[in-house]
């Protein structure tokens, strides 16, 4: 199982250092990724993989406020999130997401590519068609790809999608790619067992429930 923590806009560098130390002391051979804010990146090496929540598809240049690959290289970061709904909501459209994907692929980075539908699309029963549109611009055979299904209507609400629905959607996505599949959307200690039991679920992308290192560890170590 892959356990990925999206810390979003939380933690200063000193705070993340303590988080990282707690996590590092208590994991062994689990596949764990943590995505801190860029201002909290650490140069130290840990048992988990440190990834970037965001980047601009360029080494450097006149891109005010952006993070180029030169900055990621300084911290040895080669794992990135692309397509998270909160980035899409800020205006990252399909052509730009394709540019980010292609740049990351060119650099051989590990990519977690996020897809997911809003509540209206979900209620209309158009989820599968919507997800197909989100996937059509990327190379689904890229060897370092992981796809994360995150229904927008479940993110940060405390109410996860039902296991049967998650299973149906992950089964569908598995017909499009052989990449590992994650589920994200109010994953927590109460529902992790049901989610882990889903056939085509290879891991989870966790938001709020991962912000406390000890609570994240409870999820990782839950049998």
Q: Which residues participate in catalysis according to the annotation?
A: 84, 150
Dist CA 40 CA 162 (whole Å): 34
Dist CA 103 CA 110 (whole Å): 11
Residue among 65, 94, 97, 96 nearest 81 (CA): 97
Residue among 18, 2, 14, 71 nearest 212 (CA): 18
Dist CA 185 CA 206 (whole Å): 7
């Amino acid at each position: 199982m892959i356990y990925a923590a999206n810390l979003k806009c939380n933690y200063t560098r000193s705070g993340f250092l303590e988080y990282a130390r707690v996590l590092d002391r208590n994991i062994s051979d689990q596949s764990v990724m943590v995505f801190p804010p860029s201002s909290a990146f650490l140069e130290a090496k840990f048992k988990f993989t440190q990834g970037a929540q965001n980047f601009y598809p360029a080494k450097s240049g006149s891109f005010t406020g952006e993070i180029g690959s030169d900055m990621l290289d300084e911290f040895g970061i080669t794992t990135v999130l692309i397509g998270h709904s909160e980035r899409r909501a800020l205006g990252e459209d399909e052509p730009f997401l394709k540019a980010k994907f292609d740049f990351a692929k060119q650099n051989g980075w590990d990519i977690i590519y996020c897809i997911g539908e809003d509540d209206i699309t979900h209620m209309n029963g158009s989820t599968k068609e919507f997800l197909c549109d989100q996937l059509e611009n990327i190379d689904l055979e890229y060897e370092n790809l992981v796809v994360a299904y995150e229904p927008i209507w479940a993110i940060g609400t405390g109410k996860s999608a039902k296991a049967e629905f998650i299973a149906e959607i992950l089964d569908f996505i598995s017909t499009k790619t052989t990449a590992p599949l994650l589920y994200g959307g109010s994953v927590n200690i109460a529902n992790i067992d049901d989610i882990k039991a889903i056939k085509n679920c290879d891991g989870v992308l966790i938001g709020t429930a991962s912000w406390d290192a000890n609570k994240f560890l409870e999820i990782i170590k839950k049998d």
